[in-house]
Amino acid sequence: MKEYDKRWKEQENMESGLRTLIDERELQLLKDANKVLDLGCGDGLTLAFLVDKGFDVTGMDYSEVGIANAKKRVSKKAKFVLGDIYQPLPFEDEEFDAIIAYQVINHNTIEEIRKLLKELHRILKPGGVFSVKVSDWTTYGYNYVDGLCYDEFGSILKPIGERTFLPIAGWEKGVIHYDFNKEILKKEVEDAGFELLDMRNIKCHILGNFRKK
């Protein structure tokens, strides 16, 4: 069973903490969008919000429990794809007007994240919005003790490469995390063919809005 299956089983309807709904700024950016991909939709908190706003939403996640919970949450029709986002994505070129990816693209090594960003560029329409939220632990000031890093939720994170951590206990045990900062996020997403619109910190995360050139 995937770690995230356990999490979504234990935390059905968890709505607090670090989770963000689409803010006014993102709604403004999405105003001309119709088809939206929620990458790593989890239990569908953001996805259900977008469905209620009238968007044609597709959610993708590899957690069966997450998707099952998301299906219960949506009031109207939405599409779901169960699969690994680090494999070639099962979508057409330029299929989406916008992509939302909150707390998901950072779940691998930087090499795999670069391939994913190219895939996201491929499936987004020119001019389409890519809104992405990733962790930024080192800037936020997570504590290191004896070479391990501890987050505020009780995860113990073992460094396995530059800015790359493997949680060895806690919710996300076994799920690699790449720790971005604003400069790295800007560079990596721009290198994949996007331009930066704006960026802000949300506690230990960064939310960046980009547009496909």
Ligand X SMILES: C[S@@+](CC[C@H](N)C(=O)[O-])C[C@H]1O[C@@H](n2cnc3c(N)ncnc32)[C@H](O)[C@@H]1O
Q: What residues line the site for ligand X (CB under 6 A)?
A: 4, 19, 40-42, 45-46, 61-63, 66, 84-86, 102-104, 107
- Residue 92 beta carbon to ligand X: minimum distance, rounded to whole angstroms: 19
The number of C-alpha atoms within 13 Å of 164 and in the hemisphere containing its C-beta is 14
- Residue 40 beta carbon to ligand X: minimum distance, rounded to whole angstroms: 3
Rounded Cα distance, 209 and 200, in Å: 9
- Residue 103 beta carbon to ligand X: minimum distance, rounded to whole angstroms: 4
C-beta separation of 150 from 108 below 8 A: no
Phi, psi dihedral angles at 27 (to 5 degrees): -60, -40
**Residue closer to ligand X (CB basis): 94 or 112:** 112
**Residue closer to ligand X (CB basis): 84 or 195:** 84
The number of C-alpha atoms within 13 Å of 91 and in the hemisphere containing its C-beta is 30
Using DSSP's 3-state secondary structure scheme, residue 52 falls into helix
**Residue closer to ligand X (CB basis): 40 or 128:** 40
- Residue 146 beta carbon to ligand X: minimum distance, rounded to whole angstroms: 26
Report the residue number whose CB is nearest to ligand X: 42
